A and B are shown apart, each in its own frame.
Chain A
Amino acid sequence: GAGVSQSPSNKVTEKGKDVELRCDPISGHTALYWYRQSLGQGLEFLIYFQGNSAPDKSGLPSDRFSAERTGGSVSTLTIQRTQQEDSAVYLCASSPFGGNEKLFFGSGTQLSVL
């Protein structure tokens, strides 16, 4: 596709369940980012992938959060044993190389934990 694609667009889950969020970056983009946007808050960095390098996981809030990127393309963010405070919009972004390149954002996944 022409842009960054995220699925699902909305996810409602019960507390304690696991969820998987998917991101398809723009073809050819080597850098991929996950951010979290809570209501009334800014963008919170979660994790960054660049090519075949080890990801920067410094923003993951707890060990319930993990992410992988298969084949240098699609990425999945997994949240285990969801909590109500995990409710937020999860945004994925990609860029050609990282560095001074701008980020291209997807429309996000709205996660609601009941």
Chain B
Amino acid sequence: AQSVAQPEDQVNVAEGNPLTVKCTYSVSGNPYLFWYVQYPNRGLQFLLKYITGDNLVKGSYGFEAEFNKSQTSFHLKKPSALVSDSALYFCAVREKTNAGKSTFGDGTTLTVKP
């Protein structure tokens, strides 16, 4: 079975400060890992993914995430937050040997204040 935990329901940061949205996962084998973002009244959009190789993955809108196998984590980061980054963020995992369903976390609401 595979699972994802996003331990924080809400993250608040000031504009210009770095942000981190946490994600840990559990899978039987090696994972594919994804981050998606949901802006108000809009559908989910892909941000970035980890497949293999370099543990630091760069994605859309200046976001990046670091895969840490020993800690089974895939935290989302951005060096300098923007007010427009305020949205609902979802982490997702898919087992490489079962390239079917993706399991999503419960989501983290990011609020960036001016």
Contact = CB atoms under 8 A, between A and B. Distances in A.
A59 B101 contact: yes
A43 B46 contact: no
A17 interface: no
Interface in A16-51: 33, 35, 41-43, 45, 48, 50
B10 to A, nearest CB: 12
Interface residues of B, number: 24
B56 interface: no
A105 interface: yes
Contacts of A42: 6, 90, 104-107
Interface in B2-60: 6, 32, 34, 36, 42-46, 49, 51
B43 A106 contact: yes
A107 B103 contact: no
Interface string B82-114: 000000001010101001111111110000000
A71 interface: no
B82 to A, nearest CB: 23
A108 B42 CA distance: 9
Max chain A Cβ within 10 angstroms of own Cβ: one of B34, B45, B104: B104
Contacts of A56: 100-101
Contact of A98 (B6, B42, B90, B99): B99
Nearest to B108: A42
Given A41-B106, A100-B51, A102-B34, A107 B101 contact: no
Contacts of A99: 32, 99
Given A43-B92, A93-B44, A104-B46, 17 more contacts: A33-B102, A35-B104, A42-B105, A43-B90, A43-B104, A45-B102, A45-B103, A91-B44, A98-B99, A99-B32, A102-B49, A103-B44, A103-B46, A105-B36, A106-B43, A107-B43, A108-B43
Q: When A and B form their complex, which 6 residue pairs have the shortest distance between CB atoms, in order from nearest?
A: A42-B106, A43-B104, A99-B99, A102-B46, A105-B44, A105-B43
7 contacts: A33-B102, A43-B107, A48-B100, A91-B43, A98-B100, A106-B43, A108-B43
